[in-house]
Amino acid sequence: MGVAELLLKRKQELAEKNKREGNLYQENFKNENNVTLLPSGVMFKILQQGTGNLALISDTVRCHYHGTNVYGEVFDSSVNRGKPAEFQISKLIKGWQEVMPLLQIGTKAQIVIPSDSAYGDQQISKEIGPFSTLIFEVELLEIL
């Protein structure tokens, strides 16, 4: 077996593992209390309800977030950097585009995003492999 075939086989094995583990994580999360399931399969749970305005998909927002995979490995965190991030919602992955307009300013939520609404079959980093389910804890601080 050549190097290309070996790499492809490893990617396929990783993809299958990520699908399996992601589906298990999603099933468990779906059964927790107060989880909202969107038609796409994206799920979220309000951890702290805010009282501010709702953002539009075209808005730029400031938020704190902490992103992990189903194994608990952190792939990105504004919390760890100690500085909130600013994003135009329309430029984010589909799962964020769906949930952010549903959150009032001041809301903190846990979001579970299946790979279809994240990066699909792409290998983004060591922590985000093909067909990875992503978990975010997000706090919407303000609409800019």
Q: What is the pLDDT of residue 11?
A: 86
Residue 3 scores a pLDDT above 80: yes
Count other Cβ atoms within 10 Å, centred on residue 109. 22
Instruction: Convert the pLDDT of each residue in 11-41 to its tens digit.
Output: 899 999 999 999 999 999 999 999 999 999 9
- In 3D space, the residue among 81, 86, 80 whose CA is nearest the CA of residue 63 turns out to be 86
102, 119 in Cβ contact below 8 A? no
Distance between CA atoms of residues 18 and 6, nearest Å: 18
Mention every residue, 6+ apart, whose C-beta is less than 8 A from residue 87.
60, 61, 63, 96
What is the reported pTM? 0.94
Domain ranges of the chain: 3-143
Q: What is the pLDDT of residue 116?
A: 96
In one-letter notation, the amino acid at residue 75 is: F
Under CATH, what is the fold of the domain 3-143? Chitinase A; domain 3 (3.10.50)
**pLDDT value of position 30:** 96
Give the pLDDT band (50/70/90) at residue 7: confident
Q: Which of 24, 119, 111, 29 lies closest to 68, judged by CA? A: 111
